[in-house]
């Protein structure tokens, strides 16, 4: 599972490089996100850029929720760039009320990282 982390002031932006987060990819996604979240322990906002994800099944949704639990109550996990199909999954399951969802990834200064 290709996940690319980019540090921005006060934010860790994680871009999902895969087109699918399904049963086959969910465990890899969770494991890789766990590594990134732990490596950036001081960051309070984590944004998941899902603009390349065209398909998300219940296993993928469960993996995203597991990452939410992993970041804990003192940090935020936000979502950005949901494709229409993925947005529909979040809306139908009412997970759009659990996550802060941004239509686009915000532009901002980029730091190496």
Over residues 42-69, the mean pLDDT reads 96
Boundaries of every domain in the chain: 3-102
- In this prediction, residue 1 carries a pLDDT of 86
- In this prediction, residue 111 carries a pLDDT of 45
The answer on pLDDT for 84 being more than 70 is yes
With tokens 């003192």, the residue in question is 74
| Residue 108 confidence class, pLDDT cut points 50, 70, 90 | low
pLDDT in tens, 68-80: 999 999 999 999 9
Average model confidence (pLDDT) across the chain: 93
Q: Which CATH architecture has domain 3-102?
A: 2-Layer Sandwich (3.30)
- In this prediction, residue 42 carries a pLDDT of 86
Over residues 68-96, the mean pLDDT reads 96
Angle at 64 between CA 16 and CA 13, to 5 degrees: 40
The answer on pLDDT for 101 being more than 70 is yes
How far apart, in whole angstroms, are the C-alpha atoms of residue 48 and residue 101? 10
- In this prediction, residue 112 carries a pLDDT of 40
């Amino acid at each position: 599972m290709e996940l690319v982390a980019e540090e921005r002031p006060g934010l860790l932006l994680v871009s999902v490089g895969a087109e699918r987060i399904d049963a086959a990819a969910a465990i890899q996604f969770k494991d890789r996100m766990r590594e990134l979240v732990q490596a950036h322990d001081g960051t309070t906002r984590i944004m998941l850029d899902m603009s390349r994800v065209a398909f998300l099944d219940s296993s993928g949704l469960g993996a995203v929720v597991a990452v939410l639990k992993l970041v804990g109550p003192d940090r935020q996990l936000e979502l950005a760039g949901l494709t229409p199909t993925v947005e529909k999954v979040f809306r139908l399951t009412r997970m759009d009320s659990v996550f802060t969802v941004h239509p686009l990834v915000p532009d901002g200064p980029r730091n190496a990282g």
